[in-house]
Amino acid sequence: MKMVIYTRHLVSTFMLILLCALGTCQIEGEDDTSAYEDKFPHLPDFNQNNNITESPKSALDILDPGFSPTSKPSEKGEATSAVVPTQTPTTQEPLPTADYKYEDIDGNVCLRLCLKAKFEIPYTALGPDGMELPKTAEVPFSDFKVKIGGDCDSGKKPGEAQILNVQWGPFLDREAAYSFKMKFSKTRSGDTDDWLAEDLEFTYNTEDTTYFEDAADPGKVTVRVDSKAEFFETPYRSAYTCQADDSIELLSSDKMHTSVLQIDEIRLQPFMKPKNNGTFSEEEPCESDKQKKPTSNVASIAVGATLGCLILIVIIIYAVGRRMGSITDRTGYKAVE
């Protein structure tokens, strides 16, 4: 009987260890956010609520809640406390999510771009006294009143390419204030076919006071990447995805103007099959996302293996305990006889 009680104590102890391990696994699972949990059906809504915290109270508010910074000095000449200004926290507007599709003459989607990104554009502004001041405008991609153009060549023949041209913003001089164009080509990499993006080009007009306040020399500017630069190389018929931050520098032909394309998240695929109806094919993650994925897999495998071992040990101890208890009971019966 002592052996049975001892065995039961061992089982209870290992059950407690098992429960603790399960609890730890749950907590780690909640904190371990995989790079692919936020995958977007076409692109997820990446906007998050920005909670503005209340400004902390000053020392005067704590010591004397009835103090008013606009109160006048007393007629007796009593000294009054100085006003302590409080700062209001500023919040950054979340970037909008843009989803662009271009269709061929038959109404089939041949390429699609979903992203959350903005252009950072340095420019010169005029101050109140006429002095020139350096400023930076941040122009996000927009999904409001967008005009989409392009070309849907199949890419099967040499020299064929697909083109996406997106225009948005107010019309200035009969043209949209902002235009972004990119070209997609088919290439051969070893024994497989790939696609890549090239000839990225961005045109903006500093006459748009929404982003370019008090521009010193307002007008239209075009910047582009190096002619030999290539981006987003991906297996043919697959979609490029990346949730890691990335940046691409663009430069004007006279090298007087620059712009940086800051990409937070992107999903992109040209040469789409007509039967896909605009749905992304198999995904090919970027290198940064690939480096994140193995870490979470190793942790999951380690936790699973540990739990499996604990369960196996508990089952073995329980089986041995039942066997020993059965032998003890039989011995007791024989002694009574």
User: pLDDT per residue over 261-303, tens digit each?
Assistant: 999 999 999 999 999 989 999 999 999 888 876 555 566 677 7
pLDDT at position 255: 92
Region of residue 93 (phi > 0: left; psi between -120 and 50: alpha; otherwise: beta): beta
The candidate with the shortest Cα–Cα distance to 186, out of 296, 270, 88, is: 270
The overall pTM is greater than 0.75: no
pLDDT at position 139: 97
Cβ-proximal residues to 116 (8 Å cutoff; 6+ apart), any chain: 43, 46, 95, 96, 97, 98, 141, 263, 264, 265, 266
pLDDT at position 78: 45
Q: Is 186:154 a contact under the CB 8 Å cutoff?
A: no
Confidence of residue 324 (pLDDT cuts 50, 70, 90): confident
Cβ-proximal residues to 90 (8 Å cutoff; 6+ apart), any chain: none
Task: Kindly tell me if the per-residue pLDDT of 59 is higher than 90.
Answer: no
Please count the CA atoms within 13 angstroms of the CA of 194 that sit on its side-chain side.
Answer: 14
- Which residue type does 27 have? I
- Which residue type does 200 have? L
